[in-house]
Structure 1
Amino acid sequence: MIVMDDIDRVLARALCEDATRSAGALGRDLGLSQPATWRRIKRLRDAGLFGARRVDLDLEKVGFSVTVFLGIKLATKGRVSLEDFERAVAAIPEVQTVQHVLGVYDYRLRVVATDLPDFERVLRRRIMTLPGVGNVEANVLLSEERRAGPL
């Protein structure tokens, strides 16, 4: 765990809201010089606080109007390794996230598709044929509200 002061927390929160802001602009808001702000950002990045920068696409605007969360229970854990399943599922481009979870299911996937028939194709031809797949439960996303986590 990295030791953060109040300025680091405000800086991290500001970058979570808009990662494109310059160190100069952030520094003006915080009462710091651009070099001092840049050094803080670099220290936080080097400590692993920030992941890779990404563009947040509007999936619907690029043709993916259906999002489905899948709960997957592996049929026989002894016959297939978790790594084999994870490697195979990660190779499916429509699978946006793979989460190994504790509970009724072994994995939770976020899958995007152009429409329901496209999702059915992905489910039948790609996901259900993965090594070790047993029980699958699907939940179609109706709406989503994104909230920044507490800092």
Structure 2
Amino acid sequence: MPATFAAVFIALYIAHAVGDHWVQTSHQAGTKGGAGWSARRACGWHVLTLTLTKALVLAVVALVLDLRLAAPGLLIGLGLDAASHYWADRRFTLARLAARLRIDDFYRLGTAAHPHHPVTADGAPALTLGTGAYQLDQSWHLLWLGIAALIITV
């Protein structure tokens, strides 16, 4: 069972990286955290395509490695992962959690909203992919990938 857990987690991790960065559209990425139904719909479509990516990669890995995975575990694991992903990707939810945990300063790290934001040579805010918000988002997703892998495996 430990080897199955490892294979399932690695498959989910690979699929997460691909689905969250390659499959997600620019529209979904730019809209999913906003207000209103168009933002909720963009987030929903992102989570759907991400979950389908995870299911496809997991199916290939299970087939190649001859893993025996039960349907209820797959449905519950992928469903819980999808729900947690939607929750975090609405953005204001994760920002509120960071504030409640008193790590909102880290959440703003790497952005112009942080007092020690990166700057260009002329002193203007410099754009960076390395933000605290992104790191908290990805670590949240990794936590739920691990939980999903456990549920899928047992």
TM-score (norm 1): 0.33
More strand, by proportion: 1
Larger radius of gyration: 1
TM-score (norm 2): 0.33
